[in-house]
Amino acid sequence: MKTMSCPSCGKRMKRNGATSAGRRRWRCTACGASTVNRYKRDADAEQLSLFLGWLLSKRTQGEMGLPARTFRAATSRFWKIWPVSPACDEIHHVVHVDGIWIKRRCVVLIALSGDGNVIGWHLARSESSAAWAALMSRIAPPDVVVTDGGGGIEGARRAQWPSTRVQRCTFHAFEQVKRCTTTRPRTQAGVDLYGIAKRLLKVEDADGAAAAWLASFAGWCSDYDAFLKERAVVDGAVRFRHERLRKARRGLEKLCREGTLFTYLDADLAKDGEVPATNNAIEGGVNRQIRIVLDEHRGMRLDHMVKAVFWYCVSRLECPPPPESILRDVPTDDDIDGLYEKAAELGARDESVARWGDAVVWSEFHSSNPWSHAGE
């Protein structure tokens, strides 16, 4: 049974009818004081929910139940919040990783679990090994990571997730060949290689399908070896005549050597769950939706676009935090500026700026251990 304590003496109160408005009245059994239970509304949390309801939808500000100017005045302060990626200590069977560029000036690296939940994100200036390592360091090593082969990922994986298997997205491998051959190759070698690359998308079982594909590619390399060695004089320099085909061959040869094309066919890995062959889950399930959010709110400045991406990632967490805890725990621009200034005073400006630009470690604002920046 729900009970109340007297605001005057602290003793137990009992129910005592209702007010004329129909609200429950309570009377203290000790001092006789009478009151009603007034539930406090968290106006800030309600306004944050309103702000996110607009930001992550197709509605305009005027469609949020308030005049557009009133809406902006009530919610503009939420642009100062920096949603921070939580640490993920749960071991996932499959993790997809990919980066989404914003105005070609910065990139948000995103990790997605096989269940379709975002488990981490990271702001960086480029897809470098250091940036990917910063993201991976906050996520428990999965059994398999599915990547598009972007720069820096493999170096970061070897450093942070050395025991994790790699599945190279077969669609991106095909696209890499298509960029070199086009969809209408002019040579028979290009026609054959393009056909082999397309068949890569249809290798669905381990009963010799992968071996057959590898054999067909090896046969192509053997059949056209002399053709690919042909040279010509271009602008006074001797060059290979079919450099684009050679580039496509090098890309596939590298993937074959590394053994990352058919990881999804490994029977031992399949025992713990299916391993996808492509990165479609994050390309279409997250990146595409982020692009829709940014397109619906065109004209935002760069830092607002970054924060919009962060807010979308927050909404895709397995257990998104309620607005009340966000307002209580998440850092703001002022917090980050304070860390920036503190780092400059300590003579470590470059290192801390890189951490801010790549990822703000939330524990630096809350940890009370002697090694945190806040304690210096």
- Output the pLDDT for position 343: 66
Q: What is residue 374's predicted lDDT score, i.e. its pLDDT?
A: 40
**Does residue 155 contact residue 130 with C-beta atoms inside 8 Å?**
no
Q: For residues 154 and 13, give the distance between their C-alpha atoms in angstroms, rounded to a whole number.
A: 65
What string of DSSP letters covers 88-153?
Answer: B-SPPSEEEEEEEEETTTEEEEEEEETTS-EEEEEEESS--HHHHHHHHTTB---SEEEE---TTH
Alpha-carbon torsion (54, 56, 57, 58), positive or negative: positive
In this predicted model, what pLDDT tens digit does every residue of 84-113 receive, in sequence order? Answer: 899 999 999 999 999 999 988 899 999 999
pLDDT at residue number 297: 93
Q: What is the pLDDT of residue 28?
A: 87
Place of tokens 């203290």: 28
Residues contacting residue 372 through CB under 8 Å, at least 6 positions apart: 363, 364
Q: How many helices (H) and strands (E) does the chain have?
A: 17, 11
**Residues lower than pLDDT 50 in the chain:** 1, 349, 352-376
Q: Which of 116, 151, 148, 114 is nearest to 133 (CA)?
A: 151
Encoding tokens for residue 24?
Answer: 């429950």
Q: At what angle do helices 68-75 and 43-55 cross, to 10 degrees?
A: 120
Cβ-count burial 348-366 (b if 16+ within 10 Å, e if not): eeeebeebbebbbbbebbe
pLDDT for 93 equals: 96
Residues 261, 183 contacting (CB under 8 angstroms): no
